[in-house]
Amino acid sequence: MASSKISAIFFFVLYVVLFYFVLTMQNQLAMLLMAAGMLLEACEGIYCNFFKH
């Protein structure tokens, strides 16, 4: 859930890097990156829904 163009580009680049790590069989790093990306997206969603007016 990207609320701005900057965050949409950030998450796009993050998941491209994640896809690269999966393709190169660096699965532990890919899982860590995926968990961090999901947490950041959840935090952004909470911020946009509860604190941004």
User: Average pLDDT by consecutive 10-residue portion of the chain (53 residues)?
Assistant: 80 94 94 94 90 74
Tally of domains within the chain: 1
Per the structure, the complete domain to which residue 33 belongs is given by 5-51
Query: Which pLDDT belongs to residue 53?
Result: 65
The string of DSSP codes covering 1-53 is ---SHHHHHHHHHHHHHHHHHHHTT-HHHHHHHHHHHHHHHHHHHHIIIII--
CA 50 distance to own-chain centroid: 20
Query: Which pLDDT belongs to residue 8?
Result: 87
Report if pTM > 0.85: no
C-alpha distances (whole Å) from 24 to each of 2, 19, 50 are 27, 9, 39
